[in-house]
Amino acid sequence: MTALDTTNGTLSQGFRTQQIADRAFRGLTFLCAVIVLLTLGAILVALAWGSLPAFRAFHFDFFTRSVWNPVTVQFGAVAAIYGTLTTSAIAILIGVPVSFGIALFLSELAPLWLRRPIGTAIELLAAVPSIIYGMWGLFVFAPFFARHYQPWMSAHLGPIPVIGQLFQGPPLGIGIFTAGLILAIMIVPFISSVIRDVFQTVPAVMRESAYSIGCSTWEVVWNILLPYTRTSIIGAIMLGLGRALGETMAVTFVIGNAHKISASLFTPGATISSTIANEFTEAVGDVYYSSLIALGLTLFIVTMTVLTLAKLMLLRLELRLRG
Amino acid sequence: MFKGFSLVAFLCAAILGIASGNAATISGAGATFPYPIYAKWADAYKVKTGVALNYQSIGSGGGIKQIEDKTVDFGASDMPLKPEDLDKAGLMQFPMVMGGVVPVVNIKGINAGDMKLTPQVLANIYLGKITKWNDAAITTLNPGLTLPDTAINVVHRSDGSGTTFIFTHYLSQVSADWKAQVGENTSVEWPAGVGGKGNEGVAAYTKQLDGSIGYVEYAYALQNKLANTLLQNSAGKFVSPTSESFQAAAANADWEHAPGLYLLLTNQPGDKSWPITGATFILMYKSQDKPDVAAEVLKFFNWCYLNGGDMAAQLDYVPMPKNVVELVRGLWTNEIKGSDGKPIFHATVADGGK
């Protein structure tokens, strides 16, 4: 660097400006990162502050009761939490295999000329606003489902001893199962595009060596591609799960909005976000208002917990792979 | 350089244009039920006088909250405030338009006005005590109809609403079981059924689920071509929901002796009265900090009372009868005052000298 400190004043001047510019840029980007963290913290604090009246009134019972009665001002979050977790679980159970299949098809099996149109079509699904999904679900899918599939499912799956209870219910068309299905359709584009991208990062040499020793396509996928991309796939699933947990409008239209827990998936239920969306603008009274904010806090905590658990699982997988 | 100059000129013109367009604006927030008619009245009023109304239909609870926070010039609520709450907040309320809440059914072969229901049967259906359409309680009322052996799918509101308040208030009046078990509010813990968001949601669910029953505002039943039922009123007669039966319910109502105009029009006396009628109210402060704005608000509502009847009828709302209008105008003069203690509304001036 002494070479730059010549008698030529402008050179060292330029170097100093560069140093200042560098430091300023570092500070600016650090500030951006800190602002995001501060906003997250501020949201958490605001939610906690807003929920205090509810917790003062109900203490921990808020998380153990399923009553939701604005007249007697008694609120419990269990029904909403149950609905959120159940619809998201259904969305993941249905959406992940489908996304996996789509990604596999597009990266391994489809002829080259077909890949881009189908890929674009799947990605366009992600661009559809969620309220359109809700309207489509309510006006098109729910009656179709109620008339053609639900009676069949109740009749054939209902009598099965243990899980049959999940499918016994009136053919309403709307309910927890329909909401889960619509969520599955919504998260498929996200998960499938990440999995597809990740499949394409697997080095060609690994694929080709496997094929050359006579592996079938399925063996290549299951034994070569998946282990290589395991962590990213789990990351993609977590992305989809995060979307499913928080989705509001699509679920509000088709879930039927009944604050009850029942064994059947065909009955109406309620999720945290649908409860807040339905009742927030008209909530009169401190405890009612604060109970809705407490629900929001619950969703925040549930989402954070799920994502943290996912990160921990990924960490353990990575350690196991390395050691 | 010319491009830059023309851009600046355009921006200046735009800003001036926007600024000059800002004649007086009055703001309100609240009930979703009257939003279509308020919007229609506001359009016509703006054409006539240049004063614009900014109304946000966020729900009755939201309207009450906003007027208490003084963020709007008036609040709108389907649920009237009790006199003690009015006094505590320093508000007064008056009814603006009326509507009826109508039970609608979706059963094959049943058309509008075919089915008869009594209040107790309606309450028991919503309590989940009557679960099938061919239950004896319903068939004895409707001997001429063939009712199927299917489950009743009950549809109610999922969001907080004035329509629910009117409906549950009526059910609490006619059924002691309902009053004890559920009660009345803009949002209640429904014993049975699915919840739709808004009148539109209830109408949509009712249309789609076979064998369903729901409750909607009269306008929605007409526009969605839903089959409404007849209901037995307190005089024992089965009436049909029409403009006339809503007005009959309102005319028999005793507004003069209702403190704070807290009057619910459900279960009103009279042979022709529709039992589930309700008015939607406007909330304003008695002591106005901004008397000019308050004067504009009262002029608008006065114009709506005198000239808005036809527009309301077009949208299937029911305008207030003349005796109530006179009562309200008197209350404006007596109760709404500026900070100097003088009344803001002058009847003759606002009428344009009529």
Question: What length does chain B have?
Answer: 354
Is A173's CB within 8 Å of B209's CB? Answer: yes
Query: Do B127 and B140 share a domain, yes or no?
Result: yes
- B225 within a domain of the structure (yes/no): yes
Residue type (1 letter), B9: A
Question: Is B343 inside a domain boundary?
Answer: no
User: Which of B83, B45, B7, B124 lies closest to B311 in space, CA to CA?
Assistant: B45
User: For chain B, what is the domain count?
Assistant: 2
User: What pLDDT score does B14 carry?
Assistant: 63
d(CA A9, CA A59): 71
Partner residue opposite A282 with nearest CB, options B61, B183, B189? B61
**Does residue B316 sit within a domain?**
yes
Q: What pLDDT is attached to residue A29?
A: 95
Q: Residue A137 pairs with which residues in a beta bridge?
A: none
A71/B188 CB distance under 8 A: yes
User: Which residues, in sequence order, are CB contacts of A108 under 8 Å at separation 6+?
Assistant: A199, A217, A220, A221
N- to C-terminal Cα distance for chain B? Answer: 60
Contact of A258 with chain B, judged by CB distance below 8 Å, is answered with yes
Pair B260, B143 in one domain: yes
Query: B348 lies in a domain?
Result: no
Residue A92 region, left (φ>0) first, then alpha (ψ -120 to 50), else beta?
alpha
Find, among A258, A187, A231, the residue nearest to A319 by Cα: A231
Q: Are residues B26 and B121 in the same domain?
A: no
Query: How near does any CA of chain B get to the CA of A135, in Å?
Result: 10
Handedness of CA B154, B155, B159, B165 (dihedral sign): negative
> Mind telling me how many Å the CA of A282 is from chain B's nearest CA?
4
Same domain, B315 and B330: yes
Looking at the structure, do residues B187 and B130 belong to the same domain, yes or no? yes
Our CA-based measurement puts residue B185 at a distance from the nearest CA of chain A, in whole angstroms, of 6
Tell me the ipTM for this assembly: 0.73
CA–CA gap between residue A258 and residue A270 (Å, rounded): 6
* Three-state secondary structure readout of chain B: CHHHHHHHHHHHHHHHHHHHHCCCEEEEEECCCCHHHHHHHHHHHHHHHCCEEEEECCCHHHHHHHHHCCCCCEEEECCCCCHHHHHHHCEEEEEEEEEEEEEEEECCCCCCCCCEECHHHHHHHHHCCCCECCCHHHHHHCCCCCCCCCECEEEEECCCCHHHHHHHHHHHHHCHHHHHHCCCCCCCCCCCCEEECHHHHHHHHHHHCCCEEEEEEHHHHHHCCCEECEEECCCCCEECCCHHHHHHHHHCCCCCCCHHHCCCCECCCCCCCCCEEEEEEEEEECEECCHHHHHHHHHHHHHHHHHCHHHHHHCCCEECCHHHHHHHHHHHHHHCEECCCCECCCHHHHCCCC
Instruction: State whether B112 and B158 are in the same domain.
Output: yes
Residue with tokens 């592996």: A215
Cβ of B187 under 8 Å from any chain A Cβ? yes
Q: What is the mean pLDDT of chain A?
A: 88
pLDDT of residue B352: 44
> Mutating which of A168, A267, A284, A287 best tests the B interface, going by the most B Cβ atoms within 10 A?
A284
Question: Structure pTM?
Answer: 0.79
Among residues B258, B277, B296, the one where a domain terminates is B277
Closest alpha carbon to B133 in B111, B154, B113, B155: B154
CA proximity to A164, closest of A172, A175, A153, A174: A153
Phi and psi, residue B100, nearest 5°? -115, 150
Q: Please, which residues 153-192 of chain A have a Cβ atom closer than 8 Å to chain B?
A: 170, 172-174
> Are B146 and B263 found together in one domain?
yes
Closest by CA position to A269, among listed A279, A283, A254? A254
Identify whether residues B79 and B155 lie together within a single domain: no
Chain-chain contact of A71 with B183 (C-beta, under 8 angstroms) = yes
Distance of alpha carbon A117 from alpha carbon A107, whole angstroms = 13
Q: What is the pLDDT of residue B170?
A: 95
- For residue A91, which amino acid is it? A
- Mutation site, B60, B64, B194, B283, interface A, largest A CB count within 10 A: B194
CA proximity to A236, closest of A92, A84, A85: A92
Measuring CA to CA, how many Å separate B128 from each of A88, B50, B142, B146, B152?
A: 30, 52, 20, 22, 9
Residue B186, in any domain of the structure: yes
A257:B193 CB<8 A: no
CB contact under 8 Å between B204 and A138, yes or no, is yes
Domain stop point among B277, B292, B327: B277
Residues B95 and B156 in one domain: no
B88 and B123 belong to one structural domain: no
DSSP 8-state code for residue A77: S
CATH of the domain at B265: 3.40.190.10
Kindly report the backbone phi and psi dihedral angles of residue B318, in degrees, each rounded to the nearest multiple of 5, phi listed first.
-115, 115
Measured CA to CA, the distance from residue A88 to residue A244 in angstroms comes to 5
Are B186 and A282 in contact (CB < 8 Å)? Answer: yes
Record the tokens describing residue A85, joined without a space: 């977790």
Out of B230, B260, B277, pick the residue that ends a domain: B277
Query: Does residue B53 sit in the same domain as residue B148?
Result: no
Residue A136 is predicted with a pLDDT of 92
Task: Give the C-alpha separation, B223 to B244, whole Å.
Answer: 18
Measured between alpha carbons, how far is residue B5 from residues A132, B9, B10, B211 in Å? 43, 6, 9, 68
Q: Report the C-alpha gap between B260 and B277 in whole angstroms.
A: 19
Q: Which single residue is written with the structure tokens 């609870």?
A: B61
Query: Do residue B189 and residue A69 have CB atoms under 8 angstroms apart?
Result: yes
Q: Is A68 helix (H, G, I), strand (E, B) or coil?
A: strand
Partners of residue A70 in chain B, C-beta under 8 Å: 160, 185-189
End-to-end CA distance of chain A: 43
Pairwise CB contact (< 8 Å): B61 & A268: no
How would you write A154-221 as a 3-class SS string? Answer: HHHHCCCCCHHHHHCCCCCCCCHHHHHHHHHHHHHHHHHHHHHHHHHHCCHHHHHHHHHCCCCHHHHH
CA A27 to chain centre: 33
Q: What are phi and psi of B110, to 5 degrees?
A: -100, 125
User: Whole-angstrom Cα distance, residue B313 to residue A312?
Assistant: 64
Q: Say how far apart CA A138 and CA B207 lie, in whole Å.
A: 11
**What domain range is B58 assigned to?**
2-99+280-338
Q: Which residues is B281 bridged to in the sheet?
A: B77, B95
Q: Give the pLDDT score at B1.
A: 65
Query: Strand runs (DSSP E) across chain A, as ranges?
Result: 68-69, 74-75
Write down all domains in chain A, each with its CATH number in brackets.
59-128+176-322 (1.10.3720.10)
Residues of chain B with pLDDT under 50: 20-21, 349-350, 352-354
Sorted by sequence, the CB contacts under 8 Å of residue B65 that are 6+ apart come out as: A284
Give the Cα separation of A264 and A248 in Å (integer): 22
Taking residues A77-100, report their average pLDDT.
94
Specify whether B260 is located in the same domain as B190: yes
Q: With contact defined as beta carbons under 8 Å apart, do A299 and A246 qualify?
A: yes
B155 interface with A at CB cutoff 8 Å? no
What are the tens digits of pLDDT across the range B260-305?
889 888 888 888 889 998 889 999 999 888 888 898 999 999 999 9
- The letter for the amino acid at A211 is Y
Q: Chain B 23-62, CB below 8 Å of chain A: which residues? A: 58-62
In a domain, B352, yes or no: no
DSSP state of A235: H
The answer to whether A144 faces chain B, any CB pair under 8 Å, is no
Total CB pairs under 8 A between chain A and B:
87
CB-CB under 8 Å, B151 with A258 = no
> pLDDT, tens digit, for every residue of A134-153?
999 988 998 889 888 888 88
Q: How far is CA B244 from CA B96, B154, B239, B308, in A?
A: 17, 28, 10, 17
Helix (H) or strand (E) holding A123: helix A112-127
Residue A239, pLDDT score: 85
In this structure, the number of other CB atoms found within 10 A of the CB of residue A94 comes to: 18
Pairing of strands B238-239, B277-285: unpaired
